[in-house]
Chain A
Amino acid sequence: QKEVEQDPGPLSVPEGAIVSLNCTYSNSAFQYFMWYRQYSRKGPELLMYTYSSGNKEDGRFTAQVDKSSKYISLFIRDSQPSDSATYLCAMRPRETGGFKTIFGAGTRLFVKA
């Protein structure tokens, strides 16, 4: 079993829809949870990160962590064609740095105008 599972998609939605992107994980030691957006031919760009459980909101984006279910989500409200990209989740334990960060394979999102 992979430590982090992420549905590769593609996920296609109409403009204005609410998008839900998800990852599941198996390591209960993970404490930091990150979401990255990667446009074609670009490097990943950090969107949001959360520590431990709970929600975090930034504009149209909401990150949610449910540690009891080992499940994290990224919600995009009022989706725009410019949101079309690959979304990567990543997570790591509290006491370690980059070496213990595990990435999901990414979900490709298409928002149709």
Chain B
Amino acid sequence: ETGVTQTPRHLVMGMTNKKSLKCEQHLGHNAMYWYKQSAKKPLELMFVYNFKEQTENNSVPSRFSPECPNSSHLFLHLHTLQPEDSALYLCASSQDRLLVETQYFGPGTRLLVL
């Protein structure tokens, strides 16, 4: 719908599991973002990529590992997560990292860590 797709839409994992979230954008944008959205809390920006290069990392724990193989795809690799990491993980893209006003969001991956 928005041109940004995310898979899976729902994920349940144990604390010792390793999983990956995938995001793909079909808008020809150059910047891609990962956000975390917890209940009743503001969106937290996790990572920003511009032209495949990571430009910002908001002090995210190393158990979250992003990967951006090209401008259309973004991954978030997860390992040894904690229950407090349960949240909605949103991917977004924009024409440029400075044009955040033109961000398009994907539908998110609802993650539950047991």
Chain B interface residue bracket vs A: 20 to 34
Decide yes or no: A46 and B103 within 8 Å by CB, A97-B98, A98-B31, A98-B48 being known contacts.
Answer: yes
Contact: A41 with B107, CB < 8 Å?
A: yes
Contacts of B40 on A, CB cut-off 8 Å?
8, 105
Contact: B2 with A99, CB < 8 Å?
A: no
Q: How many A residues, CB 8 Å from partner?
A: 24
Interface positions, chain B 70-91, Cβ under 8 Å from A, are 90
Contact: A46 with B101, CB < 8 Å?
A: yes
Contact with B along A80-113 (1 / 0, CB 8 A): 0000000010101000111101111110000000
Contact: B105 with A34, CB < 8 Å?
A: no
Q: Residue B105 contacts which of A8, A44, A96 (CB distance < 8 angstroms)?
A: A44
Chain A interface secondary structure, helix, strand, loop or mixed?
mixed
- A60 proximal to B (CB < 8 A): no
**What is the distance, in angstroms, from B33's C-beta to the closest C-beta of chain A?**
6
- B66 proximal to A (CB < 8 A): no
What are 16 contact pairs spanning A and B, CB under 8 A?
A34-B101, A43-B106, A43-B107, A44-B43, A44-B90, A88-B43, A97-B96, A97-B98, A97-B99, A98-B31, A98-B97, A98-B103, A99-B56, A101-B100, A102-B42, A103-B42
